[in-house]
Amino acid sequence: MESVLIIDAKSLTVEDTLAVALDGRKVSLAEEARNRVKKSRMVLEKLIDSGKVMYGVNTGFGRFAEIIIPKQEIKELQQNIVLSHAAGVGEPLPDEIVRAVLLLKANSLASGYSGVRPVVIDTLIKMLNAGIYPIIPSKGSVGASGDLAPLAHMTLAALGLENVRVEGKKISAEKALSKAGIVPLELQAKEGLALLNGTQVMTAVGVLALHQAETLFLSGDIIGAMSVEALSGSLVPFDPRIHAARGQRGQIVVAANMRSLLQDSEILAKRPVSRVQEPYSLRCIPQVHGADRDALAYVRSILEREINGATDNPLIFVEDEEVLSGGNFHGEPLAIALDLLGIAASSLGGISERRIAKLMDTNMSGLPGFLATKQGLNSGFMLAQVTAAALVSENKVLAHPSSVDSIPTSANQEDYVSMGMTAATKALKILDNTEKIMAVELLCSSQGINLRHPLKPSPVLRKVHSSFRKIVPPLNGDRFLAPDIEKAALFIHSKNLIGFLPHDIQIN
C-alpha cells in the first residue's frame, strides 16, 4: 500500500498530484507546516485586534475594498463571499480533477501566507481522504482573482452546503460530512477569501492535461515511425549530424528515437529510391515533434512551481507582521503555458493528419488507394482520414490563445484577467482530439505495414505492430471503423506504446 503523502507547501510534485488525482493516495499535513499556519493565524488575529484595515479581512471585496466592515460582521462577510461567488455554470469537473483541486488548495494554504486556521486545511484533507468531492462547475472563472467561482463551489461543500459526489452519487454535503464524521467549517476572518483566491482549479486541470500530453507526445514518435515504415521512407532525415548542427534538444531526442525505432527495418532497407527528399510530414518529424516536446517541458516547469506557490491575496508575512495586498492569484503564467500546451498538441495532431493523407494517396505511398484491399468495392480508410481532418481543423480554432484575451470584471477593479481556466479546459479538448487523430494514424500505418508483407518493419516496431494487432485486426474489407478508432485511442491513452521507447532517450 502506498504511503500517505505529507504536504508542506514546498515539496509537492506533479507526480504526487497525479498519485492523489488518479490513484486516490491519502494525504496528511506536515507538522512543520501546521506550526507555520498557526503562527500566521496568530499574526493575523493580532493585526485585527489592533484595528488595522486589511483588504478582505475587514473590508469589502473587489470594488467594495474601501468599505470597512465592523468586527462583529467579519464572520458573516466571509460566509457571504462564498455564497455570492458560487455562480459557476457548465458540466461539473470530473472526480480526478476535483481531487487535485482539494490537494492543491490544501497545499497552498499550508504555506502559512494565508492566515487561515489549521482546521480549514484539515477539513479539505479529510474530505479528500473520505472521497467526498465537491461538485465544481467547469465554467465561470476568468483566471483572476484566481478561480473564484469554482473555488466558491468547493468551499460551499466544506461548509456543509450544496451537494457533493460520493462514490459517483450525488448527495447533500451536510449528509456526506456527517457520515464521515467531519464537522462543517465555520469561517472566521479572511478564511472565505483565502479559500476562494488562488489558481488551484486551472492548475489541477493543467496537471491532468500535462499527464495526458506526456503520454501522447511520447507515443507520437512511435506512431510516426510506423508511418515511415508504411510509406517506405528514408532514414537520412534522422541522421544525428543534421540535428547536432542545429542543437535543439527536443529535436535531437526525437531523431534519436526515430533511429532506434527504425533500426534494422527490412522495409526501409529495400525501399525504392524514388524520392530525392521526403515530404515534410516525414522528413521533419524531429523538428516538429521535438519543438512540441520542448514546449511540454516548459509547461511542466510552470506547473511544478505553481503547485507549491502561494496564490492568495492578501498575504501574511509572519516575521514582519505585515499583510501585503498583491496579485499572486493572477493566472497569466498558467494561461500562457496551457495555451502553449494546446498549440503544441494541435501541432502534433496536424502533422499526424498529413502522414495519414500520404498513406491514403497511392501515388505517394505505392500502396492500394485508401489502404483498401479491394479498391472501389471497399473504401478502406477514406473516411477515417476525413475524421482526422475534421479534428485537426477543430483544433486550429481551439488553439487560439486565451491568454491574449481579457474582459474587465468587478466594475473595472479587476480590469485585466488571464482566462487561464479557459486555456486549461481548451487544452484538454485539443488533447482528446489529437489522441483520436493519432489513433487514426496508428490504424493506417499498421494497415500499411501489413500491406508491405513479406517485408518486415524494424524489430521494435514489429513488436508494436503485433501488440496492436491483438486489439485491432487488419482491415481485410470494409467494416464499422468508429470502434476501431476508439480502441486505438484507448491503446495510446493507456501507455501501451511508450514502453517500446528506449528509456535513455525519453524526456519529460
The catalytic residues are 55
* Side-by-side strand order, sheet with 133-134: 133-134, 163-166, 169-172
User: To which H or E segment does residue 9 belong?
Assistant: none
DSSP state of 374: S
Closest to 439 (Cα-Cα) out of 496, 394, 393 = 496
Helix, strand, or coil (residue 353): helix
Is residue 327 within 8 Å of residue 128, measured between CB atoms? no
**Cα angle 117-123-127, degrees, rounded to a multiple of 5:** 160
Neighbours of 168 (CB within 10 A): 8
For residues 341 and 431, what is the distance between their CA atoms, to the nearest angstrom?
9
Cα Rg for the chain, rounded, in angstroms? 26
- Contact assessment for residue 21 and residue 119, using Cβ atoms and an 8 Å cutoff: no
Question: What's 2's DSSP letter?
Answer: P
Q: Name, in order, each residue with C-beta under 8 angstroms of 10's C-beta and a sequence gap of 6 or more.
A: 308
Residue of 56, 54, 90, 22 lying closest to 192 (CA atoms): 56
User: What is the three-class DSSP state of 431?
Assistant: helix
N-term to C-term CA, the chain: 26
CA atoms within 13 A on the CB side of 43: 21
* CA-to-CA separations, 258 to 101, 274, 285, 295, in angstroms, rounded: 38, 21, 9, 19
CB-CB contact of 162 with 134 (8 Å): yes
Question: Distance between CA 370 and CA 470 in Å, rounded?
Answer: 22
